[in-house]
Amino acid sequence: MFKPRQVANKTGPSTTPNVVPPPTASASLSASSSTSHAPISVDNPPPPPAPIASTSTAPPTVAPRLDPKLSTKEKDRLQTLLSTIESSFSDWGLSTYQRQNGMLQRLRQDPNQNVHLQYVVRLDPIIALTNNQADLQNALRHKTSSVVELDPNDPFQLHVKRTLHYDRLEHLTPSHWDPCILYLEHVPSPTHHSLPLVDLLTQLLRTTIQRIILPPAYDPSHPPSSSDALYSSSSDRPTQSELFDQSRSVAKDKDNEKGKGKGLRLPKSGGTFKGFVFVIVENAEDAQRVLSEWDWDWDAQADKVEQDEVEALEKELESEIEREMGMEVDDQERAGDEQVDLVKVAKKGGMRAITYSRWLEFQAEYLIYQQALEGLKKEGYRSSSRSYYNEYDDREPIPSKDLPPHLRVPSSSSASSTNPNSKTKRPSTNELASSTPHKKPRTSDVPPSAPAPRAGKPLPALDSRAALKLHGAYPLDCVLWVRNLHEKSTKGALRTLFCKLLDRLEEGSGKGCEFVDYEKGLESAKVRFSTPHHAQLVRTHFEQNPTRHTRRDYFSFEKEPMTPPEGMEEQELQDGGVGGLAEGRRLVVAELLKGDLEREYWDKIPEEKRRDARKSAKVEVGIVGKKKVATTGDGVPQSQSQGQGPSEGEEKAREAVGNGDRNDEPGVEGSERNDEESKEEGKEKSKKRKRPSARF
């Protein structure tokens, strides 16, 4: 008998029998499929070419199973991949993906219903898990499937076991599967019974599962809302409310062209098993049977007594049989009892089913109820004035129409206990000392005109994030007044210097310098930072490390010098940056703007810039605007008439800070500016004196 060279060179008794059977199996398949090929006899030798001899050794490579020492994670991955393959080649999968890669046509053209793995791996559900054909082979070898298998003659061909009805599958649309989509909850855990989830649901529902969908788990960073309940914001799928409207329209009018054939969009998958799952069964009859067996309104407590009695009787019978017969139950009987016990466990746990369209209605009702609760929560939060002082919730933003309590106008209900002429008034001493809470204050105890609240006072327990929509608010301690700078510097050079300094002090803080208010020829500037931390960082550095601004693009430090810019000579670097003139340079001084000076600075900045500064700072805020002082009848401020005017030191400090940029420049221009400003202030005072007094 003729033997190919590759087979003849092999040693061992098992080489010859392994060559002959594969052609016999292929001959039987070809004969059953009524092809034109003639059956191959056992007595006839195989054809001489080497490829036939190599294909005869293919079955031994497919038959062996995977290594049983696989990890649990790898087994779960292969089981998930196998379930996805079965779902893709089920009736639902073939009708859904029939136009993708021409999968249904490829199976129809092949007489053995085979398709190459290169087309299988391109399907959307499978490519989301892997793009390797070897993973598909490992998953199909991991466990025997009742839907698909690898071809024994070619490990790269996928064979569909059942006979497909191509005409029926071609006419099926996604809308035909809408009655077959069910939602199950309180499902027993498959890990407790050592069963995959597909096998567990198949035993419980007694039907072929077409697909299983596990919704993703709850993400605290992206809580569900009315706009997206189970779908991501970047997805093109409709929201739950749109699905609810779509399901209603399809249920009312199935002949509508807009809703015909499209069907309901399935929820997003990719989560882990948490006791609830969406499934697609084989047909509508099985769906109705599952709904009747696992009724949604069924009460597990109602049949608890009967179940306990039945279980007690069964245990007594089993114990009597074991005692009398003296033998254990066979393995087959135990397997049957295990299946019955699985259904009982699910019944005890309260497993129930509902259609997907009804689930969408429940979801819409839940979202409406959630919005109502959020509205009640916000309404109760706004009505409580103490919540702004004591326990401010950062998750609830303040609407633009709401103001802090100390700036609000009292309502009509609270106006009876206070003077209607005054906007905000604290209770008098007589009210606090009175033991009767219903006693009203006398009008003589209330002054005719109470002073207005101070606008520049920081809001208590109100950070800049909460005051994003509060007009006129600005973050505190973010502006530095820097002096003894180089007179030939510019705004861009100073901003670059401070950004480099921040990057040197704290890595990653190079963008902390927002703006530099500077005029050419001056030696001082106001530098605004994004957070108080950056401002304090620069201020502390100038205090601990003496610094001179020797050049427009260089800070000279005594302890740790900066990297010199390009083009700076060695002699200049040793002398401090500008040769012998470095010795006459004064040290750079930085101070925080506080109080009225800080408020006047922020008053000149547009509201959009202030809003951006509040958003990035996230600290307590102040209110812009000049401080209001009540005047007497002669036009003199009331505080000065009572001997409570500002001291000379405070006036000099304000004048020094307010006019510091101008006084630092010597010459005649500074004196001329001061004269002009003094004349304008004199005119404004004369106008105020001519105005009649409010009290008069």
Q: What CATH number is attached to the domain comprising 133?
A: 1.10.10.10
pLDDT at 526 > cutoff 80: yes
The pLDDT of residue 679: 60
483/568 same-domain check = yes
pLDDT at 535 > cutoff 50: yes
142/182 same-domain check = no
Q: Evaluate whether residue 695 is within a structural domain.
A: no
Vertex 213: Cα angle to 81 and 287 (nearest 5):
115
651-683: burial string, b at 16+ Cβ within 10 Å, e else? eeeeeebeebbbbbeeeeeeeeeeeeeeeeeee
State which of 593, 626, 644 marks the end of a domain: 593
pLDDT at 78 > cutoff 80: yes
289/310 same-domain check = yes
24/135 same-domain check = no
Q: Evaluate whether residue 649 is within a structural domain.
A: no
Beta carbons within 10 angstroms of residue 603's beta carbon: 15
179/123 same-domain check = no
The pLDDT of residue 182: 92
183/303 same-domain check = yes
Q: Pairing state of beta strands 276-280 and 211-213? A: antiparallel
The residue ranking higher by pLDDT, 529 or 312, is 529
199/271 same-domain check = yes
Q: First vs last Cα of the chain: how many Å apart?
A: 134
158/181 same-domain check = no
Calpha distance 514→502 (Å, rounded): 12
The pLDDT of residue 474: 84
Average pLDDT over the chain, rounded to an integer: 67
The pLDDT of residue 169: 85
184: confidence class by pLDDT, cuts 50, 70, 90: very high
β-partners of residue 280 are 181, 211
Calpha distance 673→654 (Å, rounded): 17
Instruction: Work out the percent of the chain whose per-residue pLDDT is above 90.
Output: 2
Calpha distance 577→558 (Å, rounded): 12
Six-digit token string for 104: 């249904």
The pLDDT of residue 488: 82
Lowest mean pLDDT among 405-419, 478-492, 515-529: 405-419
How much is the average pLDDT of 157-176?
85
The pLDDT of residue 183: 92
Six-digit token string for 246: 């779509």
Q: Evaluate whether residue 434 is within a structural domain.
A: no
116/153 same-domain check = yes
Lowest mean pLDDT among 80-94, 514-528, 667-681: 667-681
151/231 same-domain check = no
How much is the average pLDDT of 78-86?
88
Lowest mean pLDDT among 75-84, 235-244, 378-387, 506-515: 235-244
State which of 562, 593, 624 marks the end of a domain: 593
How much is the average pLDDT of 346-359?
88
Lowest mean pLDDT among 4-13, 507-516, 540-549, 652-661: 652-661
545-557: burial string, b at 16+ Cβ within 10 Å, e else? eebbbbbbbbbbe
Q: Evaluate whether residue 488 is within a structural domain.
A: yes
Q: What is the pLDDT of residues 186-245, one digit of tens each?
A: 888 877 767 788 888 888 888 888 888 887 766 656 655 544 444 433 344 444 444 444
How many residues would you count in the chain?
696
Lowest mean pLDDT among 49-58, 139-148, 177-186: 49-58
pLDDT at 588 > cutoff 60: yes
Cβ pair 496, 549 in contact under 8 A: no
What string of H, E and C letters represents the secondary structure of 431-499? HHHCCCCCCCCCHHHCCCCCCCCCCCCCCCCCECCCCCCCCCEEECCCEEEEECCCCCCCHHHHHHHHH
Dihedral angle, C-alpha 514, 519, 524, 530, nearest 10 °: -10
The pLDDT of residue 251: 41
The pLDDT of residue 406: 54
What total of structural domains would you count in the chain? 4
CATH code, domain with 516 = 3.30.70.330
- For 499, the domain range is 478-593
> Mean pLDDT highest for which of 210-214, 253-257, 647-651, 677-681?
210-214
How much is the average pLDDT of 541-546?
84
The residue ranking higher by pLDDT, 278 or 43, is 278
Six-digit token string for 566: 């390009």
Q: What is the pLDDT of residues 609-660, one digit of tens each?
A: 888 888 778 777 888 764 443 333 444 444 444 444 444 444 444 454 444 4
154/97 same-domain check = yes
546: confidence class by pLDDT, cuts 50, 70, 90: confident
Q: What is the pLDDT of residues 10-40, one digit of tens each?
A: 444 444 344 334 444 333 333 333 333 334 4
Beta carbons within 10 angstroms of residue 629's beta carbon: 11
Lowest mean pLDDT among 161-170, 381-390, 415-424: 415-424
Q: Evaluate whether residue 535 is within a structural domain.
A: yes
Instruction: Work out the percent of the chain whose per-residue pLDDT is above 70.
Output: 50
Q: Evaluate whether residue 104 is within a structural domain.
A: yes
How much is the average pLDDT of 658-674?
43
Q: Evaluate whether residue 573 is within a structural domain.
A: yes
204/353 same-domain check = yes
CA 111 to chain CA centroid, Å, is: 50
Q: Evaluate whether residue 383 is within a structural domain.
A: no
Map tokens 């990890």 to a residue: 71
The pLDDT of residue 21: 41
